[in-house]
Structure formats: structure tokens, C-alpha cells
Amino acid sequence: MGLCFALSEPSLGFDRNEPVAPLPEIDRLDAGKVALGQSLFFDPILSSDNQMSCASCHDPAAGGTMRTPRPTGKVDGKPLFNVPTIFNVANNHMFGWRGTIRSLTNSTRKCCSIPTSWGPNGMLSYQSLMARRPTRKHWHRVTSS
């Protein structure tokens, strides 16, 4: 019993040395940016053959991942790794199964450039995406504010 009172700080319910900590509070989300992100996430126009969206592999109903050991690629051959979850991914400090990618931006770029995921040419470029009038209009509206 004496040990319980000997703690120098209150227990927070997690070990500070663990790689997973409680999620921080979210101050405020921009509804327009959330809507644009959701629209792009589910839009198959992002793949070079208009068949794949982010949600094709990162299914929100399946924990932000797939229910298969390996994703089905667009080209012969399957990727070496299974699809990681995207839930709370913004709070990660390392990305990729080997932990060699250090930012969410670089992780996304790497994923979107894999021909077996997005087709022979990878994900559409920003310029191609902006050529679509509805996307361009929505993009400029939410990013200019």
C-alpha cells in the first residue's frame, strides 16, 4: 500500500515510453477541407485507369485497411506488405512497415507512386487533378481561406 503513495506523479493510464500515446484533442476542423479530403479519398479518378481510390485499400469499414493479407495490385505481382491502417495516421512519427519514411506527406507520395497500386503511371498529378473543373473550384475555395 505504501508503494501506491510513493509515486512522484499521477498515473496517466499509459507508459510514456510506449510508441502509442493518447490522441490529442482536436481544436477545430475546417468543414470544407474535410469535405474535399473525403471526396478525393473515395474518388477513383485519382488512379491512372480510373479504377482505384484510396478507399479501395484503406476501407474505413475495415479499420482503415483491407481484410486480406496482401492487396491485389493493378499490375502482375503483389506488393510485399499488407495495407497499413490510416486511422490516426497523422499522429505517427514513422511510416511504412520498415519505419524508414519520416513524414505523412512522403508516405503518401510513396504510396501514390507505386505502379502496382495506382496503375502504370501511378496517381494522377496535381495538374491533372486541377484540370477537373469541380475539383479545381472546390480546391481553390477551401485552400484560399
3-class DSSP state of 89: helix
Q: Check residues 24 and 38 and name the one with the higher pLDDT.
A: 38
Q: Is the CB of residue 114 less than 8 Å from the CB of residue 79? A: yes
pLDDT of residue 4: 44
DSSP class of 16: T
Among 29-33, 94-98, 133-137, the least confident range: 133-137
**For range 91-98, the mean pLDDT:** 85
CA distance 96 to 123: 18
CATH class given for the domain over 43-143:
mainly alpha
pLDDT band at 3 (very low <50, low <70, confident <90, very high): very low
Find the Cα–Cα–Cα–Cα dihedral 76, 81, 85, 88, rounded to 10°: -120
Q: pLDDT averaged over the chain?
A: 76
pLDDT band at 1 (very low <50, low <70, confident <90, very high): very low
Asked if residue 61 has pLDDT above 90, the reply is yes
**For range 61-90, the mean pLDDT:** 77
pLDDT band at 90 (very low <50, low <70, confident <90, very high): confident
Phi, psi torsion values for 80, nearest 5 degrees: -70, -25
Spans of all domains in the chain: 43-143
